[in-house]
Structure 1
Amino acid sequence: MRYSPPRPTDLQTLKNDLQRTGDEMANLFGVAGGQQWRKYTGGAQPREMAPQMLFFGAARLALSEDELERVLARMRSMGAEIDLSADAASSDQD
């Protein structure tokens, strides 16, 4: 697979286009919080977004609720426990 991550400006543009907060973007992409999200959109050495993170966020934007639930059901059938409505902090304490 060949992958070039989006530039920080691309991710900031997406955030602006979606009119979401940093915390909302973090939730969308499975990042710990708004402070972590900002590491992908700026700073002296911005982080590159891994392809699986980008895929997760893009899937949540592109798939219908039924399609997304189908993927989550498949993940659960493979042994995962997943609840997209739970925040990352609560799952870290389980």
Structure 2
Amino acid sequence: MDQFDMLFRPPTVAQMKQWKERLNFSGTQMARILGLKSARRWREYADENKQQGIPPANLFMGAALVTLPQADIDRVLAAMREIGAAVDMDVDAESLVAHGEPQP
């Protein structure tokens, strides 16, 4: 990748809803793969009246999680941890406080 310029046009709300249907996912599952805090946030992106468009990083994450083999996902998560991130894909986002710390 020689440059980091990117053209990105987010999918429409209808296209996002179609993807959800193809995956046969709930709103909670969509929120999880897209890195959103809750199913409520997914519903905001799926609202025909808002048309705000999913950010490219969130869409990339969701597409990667449903496309890549688990070994590749694990390699990316390991790289994120090496950079200094705390990543746990099994934590329920609604159990986190504002700063991302798990609640007992």
Match of 1:51 among 56, 73, 76: 56
Query: How far off its partner does 1:76 sit?
Result: 0.4
Partner of residue 30, structure 1? 35
> Bigger shift: 38-47 or 19-28?
38-47
Partner of residue 3, structure 2? none
Structure 1 unaligned blocks of 5 or more: none
TM-score normalised according to structure 1 size: 0.92
Q: Which is higher, the Rg of structure 1 or of structure 2?
A: 2
Partner of residue 68, structure 1? 73
**1:10-68, CA deviations, whole angstroms, 9 ceiling, x for partnerless residues?**
11001111111101110111111111101111242132111000000011011111110
Kept in 1: contact 2:13–2:46 (CA 8 A):
yes
Runs ≥4 residues deviating over 2 A: 89-93
CA distance, structure 2, for counterparts of residue 77 and residue 91 of structure 1: 22
Q: 1:88 and 2:93 equivalent? A: yes
TM-score normalised according to structure 2 size: 0.84
Partner of residue 12, structure 1? 17
Structure with the bigger percentage of helix: 1
How large is the RMSD of aligned CA atoms in angstroms? 1.2
